[in-house]
Structure 1
Amino acid sequence: MVAAALLGSERRRPPGGSVTALLDAAATETVRRRAGARPAVSRQRPEPAPADEREPLPSAAERRLATLLADRALSGSSPAGAASGRRGSGPDLGELLPQWLAEANAQGYRAPAALLPALLDAARARTDLRAETLAFAGPRALWLARHNADWKFALRDGVRHQIPDEHPQETERLWQEGLFAERVALLTTVRQRDPQAALALLSSTWQTERAEDRLMFLDSLRLGLGPADEPFLERALTDRSRTVRATAAELLATLPGSALAARMAKRARSCVALDRMGGAGSALAQSSGHRRESPPAAGIVVEAPHACDTDMQRDGVVAKPPTGRGERAWWLVQLVEATPLEVWSEQLGGLTPAQIVALPVADGWRDDLHAAWCGAAVRQRNPAWARALIGEPTEPFSEGPGDPAKLLAVLPEEERGEWAARFIAAHGLSEAFRILGVCGVPWSLPLGRAVVDALEIARDAGSYPWSFSGVMGLAERCLDPADAERLAPLTAVPDEKEGESPGAGAYWAESFQRLVATLRLRSAMLAELREGRREEMPGPREG
């Protein structure tokens, strides 16, 4: 019957010889199955949702949240007018939700019960909302998630709030019996509190876990990674899963004192050295009892590996390079990335990271070597090397092998903002989008002014306004709301210039109108969320 129904009566003769007979037989089979079904066993009603003792939202803030969630649902999490390329002059409310949630959590409010489903739907659609949403929703989010599979992400991301320190038996029970999402979250939570307890928990079931589960569990060890994790990670280097082995090797490489880091350093030392024929680098570093600021005359010579043996592969070196990449360069980069950066000062004559980066590299190996150092600086979170490799903001991106945004993220937040402001002042906004994304929010005063100045310069130069829509969107979320009144004059439509794109001036004015409106709205949002707290503050004492 199924074959005939799927293939059609022209290709498969149905039972009874006709379509009518097939439908009659299907109806009969349906009645037979329904008649044979056993009644469901009644179950107890679920326990009520746990109480949330935090303060309720001020009424104005609750209305604002409802508006933000309704706008997100109507727009499908996409800026209005995205399909046509124009958003209008009104703020994009959906993009304000992350900041609203962060401030509500900072003020210690609880989520309104009636808005919990909409909040969880928003967090389901956007992973960047989940942490703040679950903190705001509190224990009721987990209760709801157990009754609706659409919100099962909350069991993974929110379980950290349900296991108190004083109940280790509950931790063990959840680890043995919980859903995979709950177990991942549990391991992360325990890792935050007690890294060794989390490692013991993982070790207790490691051999019986599936390969894909082992990978997720192993990744949780990044939090609080330390020397005590090395024996477990060394054993994981022999895991039957290639991805598990690679992750274990990566984690060991971030431990400067690990045996793997020492093995990789030994291999890398044999590949990279000072060019003694080009000058005495070590003597230069030791002369006069102090370091010279100018780079030494010596260069660097590279002898990349000629083979990738089994020991290298056990330590995480992938033998087969990506398409278009040479084998020796591929192996060299992996070795250097996994080598502790402190090794290179000793290997290269006691020079500083800035001096080492300034050295010439023979035979065209510079880009590969610098790319490997960039990867090591990001992996090891080394500000000195990141600072040396990212260079001065006056240099364009194209001259460096590493991702400047990743290197910038390693630097302290204040330094990031200063570097980005100087970069924008030197180069404008054409390549600034990547680096703006790693700067702290709200942007610092110098960075905010640099962005606005660059936008105004681009407008006055007759540039296409659509090219800066991404930066303008970032500015709406990241500029200090106090800048709204300073930007108000830019909302006027400028006179159209000769050679300018038709309608460009109106578009620029519309963009600045939306920016100012968004900043004012953000200011109002913050005031609404802080309203209740101001009322709780004691007034001045009399007498």
Structure 2
Amino acid sequence: MSRTTADADPSLPDTWEELVTTALLGTDRRTPAGAAPGPRAPLALLDAAALATVRRRAGLRPAPAAPRPERAPEDPRPPLPPAAARRLAMLLADRPGTPGGGRRGAAPDLMELLPQWLAAANARGFAAPPAALPALLDAARGRTDLRPAALRFAGPRALWLARLNPDWRFALRSTGGGPSAPGPHDKDGIRRLWREGLFAERVALLAALRSREPAAARDLLAATWATERAEDRLMFLDSLRTRLSPDDEPFLEQALADRSRNVRATAAELLSSLPGSALAERMAVRAGACVAVDHTGDVPTIAVEAPHECDAGMERDGVVAKAPAGRGERSWWLGQLVEAAPLDSWPRRLGGRTPEEIVALPVADDWQAELHAAWCRAAVRQRNAAWSRALLGEPSAPEAGGPGAVSLAERAQLLGTLEAGERARWVAGFIETHGLSEAFQLLGVCAVPWAAPVGRAVVDALNIARDAGSYPWSFSGVMGLAERCLDPSESGRLDALLAIPDEPENASPGAGGYWSEAFQRLVTTLRLRAAMLTELTPPSP
């Protein structure tokens, strides 16, 4: 670059477009900024274009020099073993393909293994390799389901990077790790951020504080409750689900008088999750007035008299007066009352019967579906395992479900209230009786890796479907789920399924090849998952 152009640098054109215009018009008609007319004008234009090109390629707009960033914080956790670090780089370099098991080929879907790898690395307390942090943050940016585990693994250096790149600001919002984030013992800083922070920062702060000091988080929210916007109050109130306790009842009772209907409904839902709350008792009285046992017939029968009106007290306690389109008002009100009433109140109101005996009683006048559906929602909300068992019934029931569950989604929610081992045994029994076509949603609530009964039931059902010549692509979702959830130790049982089977006459064309390919991918994926765990397990000293 010539001295003339360098000396004139402050007055060079600010945009590439101005340089292009000058070149098109010619330096005889338009002199470049900062240069004198004459024979050196074309050279000045070329010098200016060269300088602008460097600026453009640098990716930064010309500006005064900014202060150097602070050093990245140290991560005290132990580094990954070398083999695990190489595996992480491989997983992050893979590009997501077709979701689920519908893709062809025997190669594993590496991106679908990344969540499990992150969970295992976090459980072992390893630190992320610094060189992998950008790719890790990019992966978390594209998949919200990865963010909690990815940010935990990335550690404090990820927050340092996120402050330097706007594309990664989600990390600051997700963890409350903005530049002004106070420490857990900085009471003044917490109050200051709560008063002055951005909405996302305040949500993250409240969630973090609630997880470690529930009362302090509630007091912080109560201090500004009256001045918050309705949509913000709703989001803040939802944070009280974490470590909800009877100590929260006075605050939630006040929220029942909120001017926002959605806030009132959320407060009522939280209170009904506390079986000993005053609201739960009020709902029990209302629901008990609608449901009773009728002994006048040949067998005891549950008689239902749905509410005839939704009074002001019911509305204050969260009952929505207006029914959805196509729904009767009285059944709508009844469902809400029963759903919010403590389940432990029904045995004493219905003759001392157990949940199983109550669910088995016939219900008069076609109210059974409505009543049992409300009990299902109550069992899920109150995490009541006894009622969940009663409503699920036996997995081998011929109607493919319990007497109270009205949909697979509802059964899945009921199963979520049971202990993992019991849940696995129920799902395995369901698969053995009804096969896999009805079980996909139920498999999603089983702990990963699947317990032995579930794994055996899934493999046996897939084998039966293959031998029967079933349409193979209808099982692609289950196959993809098995790749992620089946215990790696099950891979040995699958070796016999890798050969292409003889296709029955009524089999789908090409089904045998698809099944062999799918089982090969399943086995390869299980062995890869086993290798991942081995790589993350440091050798014993």
TM over 0.5: yes
Q: CA deviation at 1:163?
A: 5.0
The yes-or-no answer on 1:528 pairing with 2:530 is: no
Amino acid of the structure 1 residue aligned with 2:413 = K
- The range that moved more, 201-210 or 503-512, is 201-210
229, 245, 251: which one aligns with 2:270: 251
Deviations 1:257-291 (A, max 9, x none): 21211111111111001113137xxxxxxxxxxxx
Mapped contact 2:494–2:523 kept (Cα < 8 A):
yes
> What 5-or-longer segments of structure 1 have no aligned partner?
1-30, 32-38, 280-296, 539-543
SS at match of 2:105: coil
**CA distance in structure 2 between the aligned counterparts of 1:40 and 1:410, rounded to whole angstroms:** 58
**CA distance in structure 2 between the aligned counterparts of 1:231 and 1:336, rounded to whole angstroms:** 23
SS at match of 1:410: coil
Alignment-derived partner of residue 154 in structure 2: 137
Mapped contact 1:425–1:450 kept (Cα < 8 A):
yes
Mapped contact 1:341–1:377 kept (Cα < 8 A):
yes
Alignment-derived partner of residue 406 in structure 2: 401
Q: CA deviation at 1:503?
A: 0.1
Alignment-derived partner of residue 318 in structure 2: 316
Q: Where in structure 2 are the equivalents of 1:271-290 lying within 5 Å? A: 271-278=290-297
The yes-or-no answer on 1:207 pairing with 2:226 is: yes
SS at match of 2:128: coil
Amino acid of the structure 1 residue aligned with 2:374 = A
Amino acid of the structure 2 residue aligned with 1:98 = P
Deviations 1:392-431 (A, max 9, x none): 1012149632510000111100000000111101111010
**CA distance in structure 1 between the aligned counterparts of 2:521 and 2:123, rounded to whole angstroms:** 27
SS at match of 1:185: helix
Mapped contact 2:347–2:354 kept (Cα < 8 A):
yes
Q: CA deviation at 1:63?
A: 1.3
Alignment-derived partner of residue 152 in structure 1: 169
Change (3 A) 1:47 1:160: closer
**CA distance in structure 2 between the aligned counterparts of 1:160 and 1:317, rounded to whole angstroms:** 39
Pair member with larger Rg: 2
Deviations 1:310-341 (A, max 9, x none): 22111111112122211111110000000000
Deviations 1:69-108 (A, max 9, x none): 111xx33x6449x8xx533111111100000001111111
Alignment-derived partner of residue 58 in structure 2: none
Alignment-derived partner of residue 492 in structure 1: 499
Mapped contact 1:226–1:255 kept (Cα < 8 A):
yes
Q: CA deviation at 1:499?
A: 1.5
The yes-or-no answer on 1:177 pairing with 2:184 is: no
Deviations 1:111-131 (A, max 9, x none): 111211211121122222111
**CA distance in structure 2 between the aligned counterparts of 1:206 and 1:49, rounded to whole angstroms:** 37
Q: Where in structure 2 are the equivalents of 1:97-116 lying within 5 Å? A: 97-116=114-133
Q: CA deviation at 1:458?
A: 0.6
Q: TM-score, normalised by structure 1?
A: 0.84
Amino acid of the structure 2 residue aligned with 1:201 = L
Q: Where in structure 2 are the equivalents of 1:170-249 lying within 5 Å? A: 170-249=189-268
SS at match of 2:319: coil
Q: CA deviation at 1:151?
A: 2.4
The yes-or-no answer on 1:168 pairing with 2:175 is: no
**CA distance in structure 2 between the aligned counterparts of 1:390 and 1:45, rounded to whole angstroms:** 62
**CA distance in structure 2 between the aligned counterparts of 1:516 and 1:152, rounded to whole angstroms:** 39
Deviations 1:188-214 (A, max 9, x none): 121121111110011111122222211
**CA distance in structure 2 between the aligned counterparts of 1:253 and 1:347, rounded to whole angstroms:** 18
Mapped contact 1:153–1:181 kept (Cα < 8 A):
no
Mapped contact 1:272–1:302 kept (Cα < 8 A):
yes
Alignment-derived partner of residue 34 in structure 1: none
Q: Where in structure 2 are the equivalents of 1:248-397 lying within 5 Å? A: 248-278=267-297, 297-395=299-397, 396-397=400-401
Alignment-derived partner of residue 25 in structure 1: none
Amino acid of the structure 2 residue aligned with 1:298 = P
**CA distance in structure 2 between the aligned counterparts of 1:108 and 1:416, rounded to whole angstroms:** 29
Alignment-derived partner of residue 431 in structure 1: 438
Alignment-derived partner of residue 4 in structure 2: none
The yes-or-no answer on 1:473 pairing with 2:480 is: yes
SS at match of 1:166: coil
Q: TM-score, normalised by structure 2?
A: 0.84
- The range that moved more, 98-107 or 312-321, is 312-321
Mapped contact 1:160–1:186 kept (Cα < 8 A):
no
**CA distance in structure 2 between the aligned counterparts of 1:276 and 1:483, rounded to whole angstroms:** 54
Amino acid of the structure 1 residue aligned with 2:164 = H
Amino acid of the structure 2 residue aligned with 1:258 = S
Amino acid of the structure 1 residue aligned with 2:406 = P
Q: Where in structure 2 are the equivalents of 1:507-526 lying within 5 Å? A: 507-526=514-533
Amino acid of the structure 2 residue aligned with 1:480 = D
Alignment-derived partner of residue 10 in structure 1: none
- The range that moved more, 51-60 or 145-154, is 145-154
Mapped contact 1:79–1:87 kept (Cα < 8 A):
no
Amino acid of the structure 2 residue aligned with 1:391 = G
SS at match of 2:292: strand
442, 462, 472: which one aligns with 2:469: 462
Alignment-derived partner of residue 44 in structure 1: 67
Mapped contact 1:490–1:512 kept (Cα < 8 A):
yes
> What 5-or-longer segments of structure 2 have no aligned partner?
1-32, 34-61
Amino acid of the structure 1 residue aligned with 2:533 = L
**CA distance in structure 2 between the aligned counterparts of 1:40 and 1:446, rounded to whole angstroms:** 65
Amino acid of the structure 1 residue aligned with 2:434 = H
- The range that moved more, 373-382 or 442-451, is 442-451
Amino acid of the structure 1 residue aligned with 2:332 = W
Amino acid of the structure 2 residue aligned with 1:131 = P
**CA distance in structure 1 between the aligned counterparts of 2:389 and 2:472, rounded to whole angstroms:** 33
Mapped contact 1:142–1:159 kept (Cα < 8 A):
no
Alignment-derived partner of residue 93 in structure 2: 70
Deviations 1:158-203 (A, max 9, x none): 2389754432223223222332222212211211211111100111
Alignment-derived partner of residue 93 in structure 1: 110
Alignment-derived partner of residue 419 in structure 2: 412
**CA distance in structure 2 between the aligned counterparts of 1:57 and 1:193, rounded to whole angstroms:** 29
135, 142, 149: which one aligns with 1:125: 142
- The range that moved more, 202-211 or 160-169, is 160-169
**CA distance in structure 2 between the aligned counterparts of 1:398 and 1:464, rounded to whole angstroms:** 29
**CA distance in structure 1 between the aligned counterparts of 2:159 and 2:312, rounded to whole angstroms:** 47
**CA distance in structure 1 between the aligned counterparts of 2:485 and 2:273, rounded to whole angstroms:** 32
Amino acid of the structure 2 residue aligned with 1:487 = L
SS at match of 1:300: strand
